[in-house]
Amino acid sequence: MKGKVYLVGAGPGDYKLLTLKGLECIRKADVIVYDRLANINYLKEAKKGCEFINVGKASSHHLLPQDQINRLIADKALEGKIVTRLKGGDPYVFGRGGEEGELLKAEGIEFEVVPGVTSAIGGLCYAGIPITHRDHASSFHVITGHLRKDGKENPEINWNALANMKGTLVFLMGVSNLKNISENLIKEGMSKDTPVAFVSWATRYNQRVVTATLEDAYEVAIREEVKPPTLIVVGTVVNLRDTLNFFEKKPLFGKSIMVTRSRSQNSKLVERIMDLGGNPIEIPTIKIEKVQDNKELENEIKNLKDYTYLVLTSKNGVDIFFDKLDEMGLDCRALANIKVCSIGATTSKAIIRRGIKPDIQPEKAVGESLYDELKDIVNKEDNVLKATDKVLIPRAKNAREFLVKKLNEISNVTEVVTYESVMDDSKKEEAINALEEGNLDYITFASSSTVTNFINLIGEENKDKLSNTKIISIGKITTKTILDNGLEVYKESEKASIESMIEAMSE
């Protein structure tokens, strides 16, 4: 039984420049065959058990030659598997997707091609260079910069036409052939003062743009150590870069930021860092382990009618509680006569997604603030919170005792453990290597447990390596834990929220 192959353009590098159809193909694949220029984070979207095959294809160094890649894709499909061939840029713009498709057709294997944003256009855009402009270029030309294997010029390149067409020229894979490119264009009549731009690692956090003129392009590239992968842009549209450069002005552009939350919680922070031009390095220090077959929680849900308050302290707690409601054949209507209290904006959003608007959310996302809110209620004339009230708090094992202890003084509290936060040591080596390389700009701690777990993860002997990295804390309690461990806090976010942490780094 034959499978099917999707030849998918992965775009130029920015994670969000993949098409919806491309993402769909990644998620349904049994096998993903990917190139060096495809964003590695796309592999996180694959289904469990998907096979990943890296075929490399750096300049002049291929893990597999193209003919073997063609054969590999076909063989996997002949095993009855769905194969997604993930290619940087667009499969048909010097991506050799046509050759792969020809072999698949010859062997009777069904395939589809999913276009991608080519770096020749998307990469220029992120460098502030429009590939066409009514005052500068009414056409564009994308040319391979590779020499033939015998070192000779590609005979199909008409240098005279390119030099005199007045359009934007974009050379892909042309750094090693730059001297010949510039000399040929000048020889055929192009002005030696024509602007040139080199765009390296286009659309990524480490994008670098170097400008020159056609006459000194080769010398500038040598001096500035321009290396692949780099686009070479020739034309007066390069002069618009100062006006239209938006990407490199993003507040976190070029910054490498370590994120230490649990993998299930870090998505928003990681996404915001990428949106602002930064490079998130995910080092989860916490794993969430749900209490299985939680009879105690089931029993309290059965007796929800006896409770007057429900306190939810985290997104994890919200999800586990409402999932259990659903499992028991109930929904948000079971909370009709209960006041729902939330700690933190993230927790509140998770509650709202379940169809409930929290009755009480303190300004600060800590237990002390919620206690102050409820304490004020008990002091009001209508005495909303009474000694006879019952409060249900489903939350993590070993959570801080403050809230339960203090609320017990003015009401009846039942605490139910629904999950446990344990240390995640899966990225230990990656964490230590990142600290040793010294290229981190920030490390974020969103709770005291992430601080403690991270130090346990890297070991006390490596703690001094944190001295070269700016530490961002989500709030006072986390800051205290950081200071208690002998570390310095560069900035503490004004509010205990992810958005506030982003603002602290952006400023």
Catalytic annotation, residues: 35, 57, 173
Could you tell me which of 264, 411, 268, 388 has the C-alpha nearest to residue 341? 411
- Find the helix or strand (DSSP H, E) in which 24 lies: helix 20-28
Tokens for 179? 């001297």
DSSP-based three-state secondary structure for 330: coil
Strands (E), 336-439: 339-342, 390-396, 412-423
Burial class (CB in 10 A: 0-12, 13-18, 19+), 139: exposed
- In whole angstroms, what is the distance from residue 392 CA to residue 390 CA? 7
Sequence-ordered list of residues with C-beta below 8 angstroms from that of 137, at least 6 positions apart, any chain? 131, 166, 167, 168, 235, 236, 237
HSE-CB for 320 with a 13 A CA cutoff: 25
Residues 147, 153 contacting (CB under 8 angstroms): yes
Could you tell me which of 222, 174, 221, 169 has the C-alpha nearest to residue 191? 169
- In whole angstroms, what is the distance from residue 506 CA to residue 491 CA? 11
DSSP-based three-state secondary structure for 458: helix
Q: Give the Cβ contact number of residue 155 at 10 Å.
A: 7
Characterize the bridge pairing of strands 286-290 and 412-423.
antiparallel
Tokens for 42? 């796309």
Residues 7, 101 contacting (CB under 8 angstroms): yes
Tokens for 27? 């998620």
- In whole angstroms, what is the distance from residue 432 CA to residue 273 CA? 21
Measured CA to CA in angstroms, residue 79 lies from 35, 47, 75, 323 at distances of 22, 18, 6, 39
